[in-house]
Chain A
């Protein structure tokens, strides 16, 4: 089955840039979606189709996808960005939706 690998944690100082990677075999050929989940809350979409930002999501959130790695970038990090982040794709070979392992972003 298709596996998406994320770093368990990323720490970043306020005002700096956080980069969260999502590794998968030839993931660059697929559309990747990113979700933010704060404690006790349901996930919220922050990036769709690699780099599209839904309305209401700050411009500080951006995404890219190429080769075997997709990346979610959070610029000018704020305390409110502290959350778990998950990437997600559709695995057409298995007819499954797949989530990444998740990354906890800590704002120092």
Chain B
């Protein structure tokens, strides 16, 4: 059974940093691209960042480019999101999501499994 468990969320002041983690199990983690998707309270879904299976290609939403860094450790079956210079508008539930296609470039697959999310609140 595929499981994605996010952690690392919490309350943080504007301008500070936070690191999210996603622990994956139930599939060969190193074979799939992984993504972060967020949802502000009462709002829709927003893709944040994606990383291909061997970290050869990384993409970011314009809203986080230059402030967030996605990474992965295939040996530890883990995905990370380092968030810096946080703003109030970054307040959201952050989901880790698995790509559906093995060893595929961006855009080929869809998000076939999602975690339950970790809440990030940016406030003074």
Contacts and interface: CB of A to CB of B under 8 A. Distances in A.
Nearest to A48: B110
B59 A43 contact: no
B110 A99 contact: no
Interface residues of A, number: 25
Nearest to A94: B62
A96 interface: yes
Interface in B31-45: 35, 37, 44-45
Nearest to B59: A95
Given A35-B45, A45-B110, 5 more contacts: A43-B114, A54-B112, A88-B45, A96-B62, A99-B44
B107 A90 contact: yes
Interface of B: 35, 37, 44-47, 50, 59, 61-62, 95, 100, 106-108, 110-112, 114-117
Interface in A84-102: 84, 86, 88, 90, 92, 94-102
Q: Specify the main secondary structure of chain B where it touches its partner.
A: strand
A102 B45 contact: yes
A21 to B, nearest CB: 16
B117 A42 contact: yes
A33 interface: yes
A86 B106 contact: no
A1 interface: yes
Contacts of B114: 42-44
Contacts of B95: 42-43
A49 B108 CA distance: 10
A91 to B, nearest CB: 8
Nearest to B43: A102
Given A48-B100, A90-B106, A43 B111 contact: yes
